[in-house]
Chain A
Amino acid sequence: MDEGATATAAQDEPPLLDVRDLHVEFRTRDGVARAVNGVSYAVRPRQTLAVLGESGSGKSVTAQAVMGILDSPPGFVTRGEILFRGEDLLTMGAEERRRVRGARMAMIFQDALSALNPVLTVGEQLGEMFRVHRGMSRKDARARAVELMDRVRIPAARDRVGQYPHQFSGGMRQRVMIAMALALEPELIIADEPTTALDVTVQAQVMELLAELQREYGMGLILITHDLGVVADVADHIAVMYAGRIVETAPVHEIYKRPAHPYTKGLLESIPRLDQKGRELYAIKGLPPNLLNIPTGCAFHPRCPLARDVCATDEPELYRISARRGSACHFWRECLGEHQR
């Protein structure tokens, strides 16, 4: 695949993370589910890459492969490279990789209640990061935990450090998750639907906090989400995934104005808008594909309004549209041209 098509910001800085042609499959009793089929993306320091997709698009599996927390078996990385600062994580030894994970790249999970250990206090869990990676004493680690909780603006951190996760509200738990991810000041943070489980007013608080901390620490951020609103709010660059592939990649301002893939376009058009009140919403027909049996050719063709015969037989590559844009649609020109708002 053309590397230039997936390269993101026009910065001189080398990418922090460079995923190349990643393939992941799950070997299940019912057959092989091809969850990720040749994904390439890059993130640079201070940049926010949004990976947008529905359930089953492979967005979270890609992230799990990057973090090295893929359930294996049944999940296997079958091809590709994951370069972190130029070093391939996939060929690293387990011990070496463990030193990267948590310390240099960290992950924020969607459901803080199940990601946190219910029988350990918040302070112990935060402190563990310092004790394991930095070899600090219990007392020092606890002091650092309080500092961190202050940092993510958990009120009365000193009193709450000894509390258990269930004693925190949803928004506060997500702050604890963020604190834990930030603990060792990683260079890259992967946030997998960090605000999906939260209410809108709390979601706004958490996203604001994350953006602020990112500016301060200069981290790269991969934001995995299905929410087009959240993406528009914070992302620099977007990669849209469908059936384990990136179908479109573009800077955020361009993609919302002129999507170059019918799937992106369909998603954008299905958002209720003022001028559509009382009219039918645009709906993408059909259902997301079964990963055990991905359609031939372009995986989106059974649901695509632009589909022709060639789409059922030839898998489109990620065509390079401009220096920073790519679309995996045979008819991306048509898609760009006819879209007008």
Chain B
Amino acid sequence: MSTSGEPVLQVRGLYKHFPLTQGILFKRQVGAVKAVDGVDLDLYRGETLGVVGESGCGKSTVARLLVHLERATKGQILYKGEDITKLSGRALKAVRRNIQMVFQDPYTSLNPRMTVGDIVGEPYEIHPDVAPKGDRRRRVRELLDVVGLNPEHLNRYPHQFSGGQRQRIGIARGLALRPEVIVADEPVSALDVSVQAQVVNLMERLQDEFDLSYVFIAHDLSIVRHISDRVAVMYLGRIVETGDDTQIYEHPTHPYTQALLSAVPVPDPDAREHRERIILTGDVPSPADPPSGCRFRTRCWKARERCTLEVPALAVPAVFRDVDSPAAHDSACHFAEEKTVVPPEAGGE
């Protein structure tokens, strides 16, 4: 997996505010839910970028912005240097072909009245230039075969398939137009444990086969670690820390990342006695009224006055700037320091 070369996607200063209105006839805006509030991301060719965070942190909104299901309030999404937030009509359609999405819930993201063949072939209706009419059926069969489904099941309906199989259908649909980027929003979290591994393996195989770049959004930190080359941690509409998987998982410097990692239950009963757990107090604040300064300060055990006043920038913290260490990666904390929270044996080695 080479991450060198040009980024396929570059996100710069992305904002998405959903207006909150009051009144029925004369709606006036009384505020905004700041779902995404200044996000920068790069996605390189052939790599997997994992985005983790808790519910409400804006990770799904980022996904929807990337495939242009939502219009950004502000900021740029550059696909090979071209800003897709400014595009419309034919130009947008052409770009969309290359950025496809796989949804979380394989039960609601497939139309129950359409056959599998029609679902997987529908992208060809929208982009008829990709496959001539006579060729579509054959292509759909091929796609079903690629994702490990029986091509003869073309005429079945979604309800005749299990959750894992449905997610395969969703993946086949995402692949139909041979995109370069696939944005997968929690693609395995609705699946049974024994089936999750099958789908993760499938996605990894397809990545090699079709030279895909993935944005993999999930809340399951161990799966994200397995599949990702780089990881971005989100909290309340912003990225708080980003780096490669070793930097994030073994040398986290942001307190939120540390708390998140320490809270993950480790499937090793021997680890429970000698493991340090950071239990955060309280809940995530409302994105309609985020705290001033650092957004994590209300739950942070390190918070000082500076955190209320100054928004920490996402950059390599000053203490690590000249150090050749995995701790030297982008972290949006005024008081960043290294802390090992995942016990080494929990990784199996």
On A, residues with C-beta under 8 Å from B are 54-55, 169-172, 199-205, 207-208, 226-235, 252-253, 256, 266-268, 270-278, 280-285, 287-288, 341
Q: Is there contact, CB below 8 Å, between B271 and A232? A: yes
Within 8 A of A (CB), among B220-243: 221-223, 225-226
Among A256, A274, A283, A287, contact of B267 (Cβ-Cβ < 8 Å): A256
B195 contacts across to A, CB distance below 8 A = 287-288
Known contacts A280-B204, A284-B197; is-contact A169 B265 (Cβ 8 Å):
no
- List chain B residues, Cβ under 8 A from A268: 267
Q: Does B264 contact A (CB under 8 A)?
A: yes
In the complex, the answer to whether B194 meets A54 with C-beta atoms within 8 Å is yes
CA distance in complex: A40, B347 (Å): 34
Report whether B194 and A267 are in contact in the complex, using a CB–CB cutoff of 8 Å. Answer: yes
What A residues does B269 contact at CB under 8 A? Answer: 232-233, 235, 252-253, 256
Contact A200-B219, Cβ < 8 Å, known A232-B271, A277-B226, A277-B245: yes
Are A199 and B54 neighbours in the complex by a CB distance under 8 Å?
A: yes
Residues of B within 8 A of A278 (CB): 1
Per the 8 Å Cβ criterion, residues 164-201 of B in contact with A are: 164-165, 192-198, 200-201
Report which of A169, A227, A232, A283 forms a contact with B283, defined as CB distance below 8 A. A169
| Contact partners of B22 in chain A: CB under 8 A | none
Top-6 shortest CB links A-B:
A229-B265, A274-B347, A272-B226, A273-B348, A199-B54, A283-B197
**Alpha-carbon distance A199/B200, docked complex (angstroms):** 21
The reply to whether A276 and B266 contact each other, CB–CB distance below 8 Å, is: no
Q: Which of B204, B222, B271, B349 is the one whose CB lies under 8 Å from A271?
A: B222
20 contacts between A and B (CB under 8 A): A54-B192, A170-B55, A171-B283, A200-B264, A201-B54, A201-B280, A205-B279, A205-B281, A226-B192, A230-B265, A232-B271, A253-B269, A270-B197, A272-B200, A275-B348, A275-B349, A276-B348, A277-B226, A281-B200, A341-B348
Given A233-B265, A271-B222, A273-B348, A55 contacting B200 (CB threshold 8 A)? no
CB of A57 to closest CB in B, whole Å: 9
User: Would B268 and A232 count as touching, CB distance under 8 A?
Assistant: yes
Answer whether residue B263 sits at the interface, using C-beta atoms and an 8 A cutoff.
yes
Residue of B nearest to A52 (CB): B193
**Distance in Å: Cβ of A265 to nearest Cβ of chain B:** 11
Interface string of B147-178 (1 = CB under 8 A from A): 00000000000000010110000000000000
B55 contacts A199, C-beta separation under 8 Å: yes
A284 to B: closest C-beta gap in Å: 4
| Chain A proximity of B302: nearest CB distance (Å) | 16
Checking B162, B196, B200, B221 against A200 with a beta-carbon cut-off of 8 angstroms, the contacting residue is B221
Residues of A within 8 A of B221 (CB): 200
What's the minimum C-beta distance from A261 to chain B, rounded to whole angstroms?
13
**Do residues A281 and B226 form an inter-chain contact, with CB atoms below 8 A?**
yes
Docked-complex contact B194 and A203, CB < 8 angstroms: no
CA distance A154 to B46 in the complex (A): 47
- The verdict on B270 contacting chain A, using a C-beta distance below 8 Å, is yes
Is B196 in contact with A270, judged by CB distance below 8 angstroms? Answer: yes
Contacts of B196 in A (CB 8 A): 270
Contact status B283-A270, CB under 8 Å: no
Q: Known pairs A172-B283, A199-B219, A266-B194. 16 more at Cβ < 8 A?
A: A199-B55, A200-B219, A201-B280, A207-B265, A208-B279, A228-B193, A232-B272, A267-B193, A268-B267, A271-B267, A284-B197, A285-B198, A288-B162, A288-B192, A288-B195, A341-B348
Q: Establish whether residues B55 and A256, one from each chain, have CB atoms under 8 Å apart when the complex forms.
A: no
In the complex, A266 Cα to B195 Cα: how many Å? Answer: 11
Q: A226 to B188: give the CA distance in the assembly, Å.
A: 14
B259 within 8 A of A: yes
Residues from chain A with a CB closer than 8 A to the CB of B225 are: 272, 274, 277
Report B157 CB to chain A, min CB distance, Å.
Answer: 16
Whether B347 and A275, one on each chain, are in contact in the complex, defined by CB atoms closer than 8 angstroms, is yes
Q: Is the CB of A253 within 8 A of B201?
A: no
On whether the beta carbons of A229 and B267 are closer than 8 Å, the reply is: yes
Interface of chain B residues 328 through 349 with chain A (CB within 8 A)? 347-349
List, in ascending order, chain A residues with CB within 8 A of B265's CB.
203-204, 207, 227, 229-230, 232-233
**Chain B residues whose CB sits within 8 angstroms of the CB of A285 once the complex forms:** 198
Q: In the complex, what residues of A have CB within 8 A of residue B223's CB?
A: 272
CA distance A288 to B55 in the complex (A): 29
Query: A55 near B272 (CB under 8 angstroms)?
Result: no
Minimum CB distance partner of B261 in chain A: A200
Pairwise interchain contact B198-A229, C-beta atoms closer than 8 A: no
**Contact indicator B270/A253 (Cβ below 8 Å):** yes
Contact residues in B for A207 (Cβ distance below 8 Å):
265
**B146 contacts the other chain (Cβ, under 8 Å)?**
no
0/1 interface trace, chain B 265-300, chain A, CB 8 Å (1 if under): 111111110000101110110000000000000000
Q: Is B260 an interface residue (CB 8 A)?
A: yes
Contact status of A287 and B164, CB under 8 A, knowing A54-B192, A172-B283, A226-B193: yes
